[in-house]
Structure 1
């Protein structure tokens, strides 16, 4: 639930309101509200600004999820597939991008400028098996670069997962993590 709400925005709103109340109370000579507004409002406002600066927005679905796919996910998805889906569809803080650690360990992130960026996800049924498809913008890593790491990707996101890599457009890579039987 909290992953769907931007904590940075909440901190900015609450801190801003308390700070304004504190400044107004100072102007009207109300010491109690002045202290509460200043001592709580300004730190919460600064915390909200810090969170907003380090915030990564949730990744959107590229295709709507049907009830059949949701039932398939509930019955077949591995713990790793569930964790990836939950992590990328919520606000994250203090990271460069979604899945940055995974991409670095897979050798797909030598620098921040070269790192592929996850821009959408979708869920599919492939031959009756649940598949989580990660859609990356990958202009500097070719399909061949990804395919040479396929075995490593399967070990990293496994067990019980096979990876299918496709290139729908020139600068895009789709990594499908498919549940094995």
Structure 2
């Protein structure tokens, strides 16, 4: 269902509907309807297909949006921006957090790390995030070398923890530094 509600899908469907309506109107001799619908329908359809070809779906959100709203509002604003950034449709990027991972030198152009899910955490220390990555061509030891910088990079007063899930997946937890 999430794939059907992407902006690229909506634009593609709208362009397809306008094109079909224009084609039917042309075939039935209704010139007043056929010209505008074909004239606008085909470019909208092509634009929608272009969006679909470069679309990056949002990371899977484990925690429901309304569950930790109060904690999120009291936490560092950078964490809220990070959460909002990775849970929306992106266009023209290979992976979520592309520029951040490039700045941290945790990027591989051919096979970049992939953010698969994000979870909001609440503990006695405060609000944090868990990001699950598939490392792909960037090994976990490179992430471990940058561990002290990772927490500070995403928000002030945060520390980062890495936990291996399996050989290709790991969790990056951003937690308040006690």
TM-score by length of structure 2 reads 0.88
Determine the C-alpha separation between the residues in 2 that align with 1:29 and 1:121. Answer: 54
Match of 1:110, SS state, is: coil
Gaps of 5+ in 1: none
Determine the C-alpha separation between the residues in 2 that align with 1:88 and 1:16. Answer: 29
Kept in 2: contact 1:143–1:166 (CA 8 A): no
Report the CA distance between 1:10 and its aligned residue: 1.0
List structure 1 runs of 4+ shifted beyond 4 angstroms. 63-66
Gaps of 5+ in 2: none
In the superposition, relative to structure 1, how do residues 84 and 162 fare at CA in structure 2: closer, same or farther (>3 Å)? same
Name whichever of 22-31 and 146-155 sits farther off. Answer: 146-155
Kept in 1: contact 2:114–2:136 (CA 8 A): no
Match of 1:37 in 2: 37
Identify the match of residue 170 of structure 1 among 159, 167, 171. 167
In the superposition, relative to structure 1, how do residues 139 and 6 fare at CA in structure 2: closer, same or farther (>3 Å)? closer
Match of 1:26 in 2: 26
Determine the C-alpha separation between the residues in 2 that align with 1:110 and 1:11. Answer: 32
Determine the C-alpha separation between the residues in 2 that align with 1:179 and 1:108. Answer: 22
Report the CA distance between 1:156 and its aligned residue: 2.1
Where do residues 131-146 of structure 1 align in structure 2 (5 Å cutoff)?
131-146=128-143
Aligned alpha-carbon RMSD (Å) = 2.0
Determine the C-alpha separation between the residues in 2 that align with 1:8 and 1:139. Answer: 27
How many residues align? The count is: 175
Match of 1:6 in 2: 6
